[in-house]
Amino acid sequence: MAIYFDKETKTFYLEGKSTTYAFYINNFGYAEHLYYGKRIHRDYIIYTRSEGVRSCIATAPGADNVSGQKSFHHMNPEISFFGTGDYREPTVHPRFASGDRLTTLLYAGHEILDEKPAISGMPSMRGGKTLVLHLYDEVKSFGADLYYTVFDDCDVIARRIVYYNDSGDTVKLDRAYSFAMSLPSGEYDMLSLHGGWACERQPERVPLHYGVASIDSKRATSSATLNPFMAILGRDTTESFGDAWSVSLIYSSSFVLKAEITSSGEALLLGGINDFDFEWQLGAGESFETPEVAIAYSADGIGGMSRALHDAMRDHLINEKYVKAPRPVLINNWEGTYFNFTKEKLCAIADAVAGTGIDTLVLDDGWFGKRDDDKSGLGDWFVNEKKLVGGLDGVIEHVHSVGMKFGLWFEPEMISEDSDIFRAHPEYAIGVPDRARCYSRHQFMMDLTNPEVRDYIVNSVNAILGKHKIDYVKWDYNRNVTEFFSLALDSELQSEFAHRYALGLYDICDRIVSANPDIFFEGCSGGGARFDPAILYYFPQVWTSDNSDAEERTRIQYGTSIAYPLSAMACHVSASPNHQVGRATRLATRGDIAHLGATGYELDTTVFTDDDRAAVKAQIEAYKKMERLVLEGDLYRIENPYTSNYFSFMIVSKDKSQAHLTCYRSLNHCNPAPHRVIMQGLDENKQYYIPELNLILHGSVLMSVGIVVNFGKGDFETKVYHLEEK
Ligand code: GLA
């Protein structure tokens, strides 16, 4: 049984693949956290909770001189709240009609469901046995349902809270987080992923201090600045050993994740929708759904935690139809032509790679409206026939005639000032009356909180997709909200803007994706600035970064893999010298690094020589051999490019019969020591054949003695190894 309730001790044991999450209902009715970690027996563990009130610390409400009394100093409730002696960060902050902001949420019952209900209008994980814990404040007729979902096949718990207002008055929610979770007193580090354009998701590990550490976004998007992901690690935890917990928020708007070390040295993790510039009007009888979080645990270090997250996202979050299906191997024209293309040029780009294994031409920005640069046309989703003589169909027919599929770029959430749609409907753009708007990449944003705007977007995008034979869509998003205001919202609802933007985004994603079930969608955001679990729910892969230089990509892909599976990362071979950093690298190096994800090409293929074509063909054949591992395998990060001159990723099949190792050396040095790489994740007792070394070796040898990697001369060299069980 995945969820077990011991009636005598009122203890809940939630069991994932190899973890236990436990809490109990104490004498006062509070749900008190007990444990989250490695799977344990269902023993009595309430002995870990102490009783009593220290001086200067408040009792539980009304509990003076009551035997077994508790104060919040001793209690770690599954939800923290304000004004009743709990001075930690509150999970919820309601403002009742009387002005009173206190709440006490006590156990009022529970249900165990065989399958998790989907959240209406928001992305969430699929399947999994679910506990719904009903907590209620009798005084205020205010409730919170805490959802916990466990999965038999991965070490992730999905959590969220639904707040509801049974009273006759509106309750204002100043804060409505998705979860709170305690960890016992200890020494902890926080690992987060920060970055910017072309340098997304760089890991940063810092010690947690007494007080509150937080990461957030106030941009109405998840952003490249800080990913909605936070891991808490034991101070001694490494890539391969030790306790690692993580929180991934399935949300694509302003968020906050916090880790508080309390005065007793315990840790409290919590977060959800950012409560900065947030206030939700919860009308009488209404409920408020918070976004879901995926909480992972591994005793096998950061690597184990990543593998738990990869499994959970692949098996329970990303579109089942596509997540493990072979991905389109595409040629994207962006870096090959930028805005400067014709039908003839696009056809020539396709012709140059037809027959190599590249199977899809993606036509990027510039095919619609009046769009010859980034100053105009966004929102006018009709084909620019002046530029593309013969329309889209001319290109599509040609691409099909050489055996390839066709993909198209959109940026549905945007509007250019110089566009027909803005001239007709300036109110579709986000803005505050009488104030000048901020430009970003010369463009404004569509007001997705307005249903009429959403209908316009859905209808115009679906019209193009319905009219032409399109197999693939790249959905871009190149700026962030500046004016947090909607003409379509009443004044008292303006602080709901950022969350309503997310709901609007989910609505248009859902309506466009579900109307086009045979189209494969890729997310993008000025590179990888919106690489988050909510986007992955709609789009199975995301453009990882506009920086496609192989050296830089080792770091970006390393950091991204901490929280996301390889199959979610779109990785392209681009031109050399690279357009972002000017570095020259070999085609083989660019290919080997781009193979560690959903691979593709993005350069002007019309300059290819016969040798280049042959090399690309060989690269794709090699990719096809490792594709299953990229889509389904377990990732082991062997060498870290942030801390060494090397990068290596090893991917091992679930049954450990196959593996692939990619090794990369940044700079060459004279007279180097032999470079030994110790493998991970194999079966010690299996024998593996490695054709590149012509060796058959046991897993035990490969994981203790390792192999010696002899890189060629020069910088930015790669070596790849295939392992096949003998
Ligand atoms: C963004 C994307 C690029 C490309 C351009 C087009 O920057 O990240 O891949 O699509 O937009 O304008």
Residue 12's nearest CA partner among 103, 91, 78 is 78
pLDDT of 84: 82
Reported as a pLDDT band with limits 50, 70 and 90, residue 187 is very high
The one catalytic residue in 546, 549, 592, 634 is: 546
Q: Which of 524, 545, 603 gets mutated to test ligand 1 (max ligand atoms within 8 A of its CB)?
A: 524
pLDDT of 66: 65
* Per-residue model confidence as pLDDT tens digits over 554-570: 999 999 999 999 999 99
Q: Which residues line ligand 1 (CB under 6 A)?
A: 334, 364-365, 409, 476, 478, 524, 526-527, 543, 546
How much of the chain, in percent, has pLDDT values that exceed 90?
Answer: 93
Reported as a pLDDT band with limits 50, 70 and 90, residue 75 is confident
Position 44 pLDDT exceeds 70: yes
Q: How far apart are the first and last CA of the chain?
A: 38
Residue nearest to atom 11 of ligand 1 (CA): 526
2-316 topology per CATH: Beta-galactosidase; Chain A, domain 5 (2.70.98)
Query: Do 139 and 104 meet the contact criterion of CB atoms below 8 Å apart?
Result: yes
**CA atoms of 214 and 290, how far apart (whole Å):** 19
CATH homologous superfamily for the domain 330-632: Aldolase class I (3.20.20.70)
Q: Please provide the average confidence, as pLDDT, over all residues in the chain.
A: 96
- For the CA of 474, the nearest atom of ligand 1: 10
- In a 13 Å sphere around the CA of 101, the CA atoms on its Cβ side amount to 13
User: Distance, CA 531 to ligand 1 centroid (Å)?
Assistant: 14
Residue 646's nearest CA partner among 626, 687, 681, 674 is 674
In the residue annotation, 364 being an active-site residue is answered as no
Q: Bridge-partner residues for 249, per DSSP?
A: 293
Residue 132: both structure tokens together: 């719904």
Residue 134's nearest CA partner among 46, 60, 63, 29 is 29
The one catalytic residue in 447, 476, 507, 549 is: 476
Q: Which of 339, 364, 378 gets mutated to test ligand 1 (max ligand atoms within 8 A of its CB)?
A: 364
Alpha helices in 375-496 (DSSP H): 391-401, 420-424, 451-467
Residue nearest to atom 1 of ligand 1 (CA): 526
Q: Which of 413, 478, 548 gets mutated to test ligand 1 (max ligand atoms within 8 A of its CB)?
A: 478
* Per-residue model confidence as pLDDT tens digits over 674-715: 999 999 999 999 999 999 999 999 999 999 999 999 998 999
3-state secondary structure of 349: helix
Q: What is the pTM of this model?
A: 0.98
Position 251 pLDDT exceeds 70: yes
Burial of 510 (0-12, 13-18, 19+ CB in 10 A): middle
Position 52 pLDDT exceeds 60: no
Reported as a pLDDT band with limits 50, 70 and 90, residue 598 is very high
3-state secondary structure of 518: coil
User: Distance, CA 581 to ligand 1 centroid (Å)?
Assistant: 16
Position 35 pLDDT exceeds 80: yes
Q: Which residue has the tokens 């096998």?
A: 300
* Per-residue model confidence as pLDDT tens digits over 83-126: 888 889 999 999 999 999 999 999 999 999 999 999 999 999 99
Position 55 pLDDT exceeds 60: no
Position 69 pLDDT exceeds 70: no
Relative orientation angle of helices 550-563 and 301-316, to the nearest 10 degrees = 80
pLDDT of 663: 98
Which of 21-30, 405-414, 564-573, 628-637 has the lowest average pLDDT? 21-30
In the residue annotation, 311 being an active-site residue is answered as no
pLDDT of 183: 96
Residue nearest to atom 2 of ligand 1 (CA): 526
User: Distance, CA 12 to ligand 1 centroid (Å)?
Assistant: 48
- For the CA of 546, the nearest atom of ligand 1: 8
Residue nearest to atom 12 of ligand 1 (CA): 365
* Per-residue model confidence as pLDDT tens digits over 199-210: 999 999 999 999
User: Distance, CA 547 to ligand 1 centroid (Å)?
Assistant: 11
- For the CA of 525, the nearest atom of ligand 1: 8
Pairing of strands 569-574, 541-543: parallel
Average pLDDT, stretch 635-646? 98
Residue 485 CB neighbours (<10 A): 17
User: Distance, CA 58 to ligand 1 centroid (Å)?
Assistant: 56
Position 53 pLDDT exceeds 60: no
Position 390 pLDDT exceeds 80: yes
- Domain limits, the chain: 2-316, 330-632, 638-725
pLDDT of 83: 87
Reported as a pLDDT band with limits 50, 70 and 90, residue 28 is confident
User: Distance, CA 526 to ligand 1 centroid (Å)?
Assistant: 5
pLDDT of 30: 92
The class level of CATH for 638-725 reads: mainly beta
